[in-house]
């Protein structure tokens, strides 16, 4: 299912979806925002572990039952098992094409790489997005939120918002829910018969809502790669404590964000060991304070992933290293 908000094109308007995101997090509901950077499927620790296992086998052929046997040994049903479930989903789709046939390993790896590229557009749980971002997409179930639909943006004609509302409505394949404030919604109220009389509508009467919990004022922020120092761990030799600390982390692990005396931002584990750093492009939320940080994903990088101009900064002994993608949670206040 997807929820579409009437936010305009300005990036900050994604924040109108923050209360919904916080509500889902509070209730343990899978949720994602369409503006989150979900790149890097191929370099995920879990994906690289499977590729490493496949390439160390003696056979140049592989079949689905063998892959499933190996995946059955990996975590399942735990908070840190999200990305393993992702790989199981990939193998299930591969089985639809390949069945149980034994095929060349390169065939499967090429297929997996393509699946990973498409996975960037896959939906996990409830998807929150703006009407502009929803253009060209379709979903089985859509809820369109009420808000400032009648307010035109700069350089837009008077009919632009009506067209945008139409875009939001027509994203639904099966069911469409249109939210309406008590003060009315001009376009819904103008429909033939009105929303209260038309047989095309299943009207749900407004019910009093309880006082919103303070958690709805929180802001969940998954950082993109541009905001992360991707090769921080690579500046230390393989035996350094940072690599052991990274190896002990999993998706969902609690971490902390701290600022150094020089103003740089560091990620550290429960023992205070630095496990990552943020880049100069990171800016903390204003008028809010961080209350929680956790690992969203862990990626594996190698020297070939580093631009030539920056390779001199990494340890010559590092053949690979891990990089944490954090999710930060902020609450109002300084």
Q: What is the pLDDT of residue 194?
A: 52
Structural domain containing residue 87: 45-119
If asked whether residues 19 and 141 sit together in one domain, one would say yes
205 and 227, same domain (yes or no): no
Give yes or no: residues 146 and 207 share one domain.
yes
Residue that finishes a domain, picked among 161, 184, 215: 215
- Cα separation of 293 and 308, whole Å? 32
Are 284 and 249 found together in one domain?
yes
Joined together, the tokens standing for residue 180 give 């309406």
H-helix or E-strand containing 258?
Answer: strand 254-259
Instruction: Give the end of a domain, one of 62, 85, 119.
Output: 119
Report CA 205 to chain centroid distance, whole Å.
34
Q: Do both 108 and 257 map to the same domain?
A: no
Domain count, the chain: 3
Q: Are 257 and 290 in contact (CB under 8 A)?
A: yes
Element (H, E) at 109: helix 105-119
Judgement on whether residues 203 and 291 belong to the same structural domain of the protein: no
Can you give the pLDDT of all 334 residues of the chain as single tens digits? 777 676 544 444 667 788 888 888 888 888 887 766 566 899 999 999 999 999 999 999 999 999 999 999 998 767 668 899 889 999 999 999 999 999 999 999 999 999 988 866 666 678 888 888 888 888 899 998 887 777 766 677 778 888 888 898 899 998 888 887 777 777 777 766 555 566 666 777 777 878 889 899 999 899 999 999 999 999 999 999 999 999 999 999 999 999 999 999 999 999 999 999 999 999 999 999 999 999 999 999 999 999 998 899 899 889 999 999 999 999 998 7
Of 101, 119, 137, the residue at which a domain comes to its end is 119
Distance CA 299, CA 43 (A): 5
CA distance 87 to 93: 10
Tokens of 150: 């009648």
Take residue 274 and report the two structure tokens written for it: 């630095």
């Amino acid at each position: 299912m997807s929820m579409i908000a009437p936010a305009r094109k300005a990036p900050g308007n994604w924040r109108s979806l923050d209360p919904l995101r916080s509500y889902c997090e509070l209730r343990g509901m899978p949720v994602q925002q369409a503006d989150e950077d979900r790149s890097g499927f191929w370099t995920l620790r879990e994906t690289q572990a499977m590729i490493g296992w496949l390439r160390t086998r003696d056979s140049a052929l592989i079949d689905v039952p063998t892959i499933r046997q190996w995946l059955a040994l990996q975590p399942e049903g735990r908070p840190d098992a999200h990305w393993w479930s992702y790989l199981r989903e990939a193998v299930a789709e591969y089985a639809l094409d390949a069945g149980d046939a034994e095929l060349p390993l390169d065939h499967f790896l090429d297929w997996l790489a393509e699946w990973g590229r498409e996975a960037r557009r896959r939906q996990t749980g409830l998807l929150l997005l703006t009407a502009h971002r929803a253009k060209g997409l379709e979903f089985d179930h859509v809820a369109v939120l009420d808000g400032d639909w009648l307010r035109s943006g700069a350089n837009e004609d008077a009919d632009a918002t009506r067209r945008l509302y139409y875009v939001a409505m027509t994203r639904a394949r099966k069911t469409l829910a249109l939210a309406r404030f008590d003060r009315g919604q001009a376009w819904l109220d103008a429909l033939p018969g009105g929303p209260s009389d038309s047989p095309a509508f299943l009207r749900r009467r407004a019910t009093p809502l309880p006082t919103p919990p303070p958690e709805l004022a929180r802001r969940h922020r998954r950082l993109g790669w541009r905001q992360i120092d991707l090769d921080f761990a690579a500046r230390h030799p393989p035996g350094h404590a940072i690599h052991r600390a990274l190896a002990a982390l999993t998706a969902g692990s609690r971490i902390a964000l701290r600022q150094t005396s020089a103003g740089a931002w560091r990620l550290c584990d429960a023992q205070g060991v630095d496990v990552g750093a943020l880049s100069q492009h990171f800016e903390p939320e204003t008028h809010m304070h961080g209350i929680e940080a956790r690992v969203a994903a862990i990626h594996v990088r190698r020297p070939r992933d580093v631009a030539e101009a920056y390779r001199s900064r990494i340890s010559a002994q590092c053949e690979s290293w891990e990089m944490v993608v954090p999710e930060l949670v902020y609450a109002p206040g300084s």
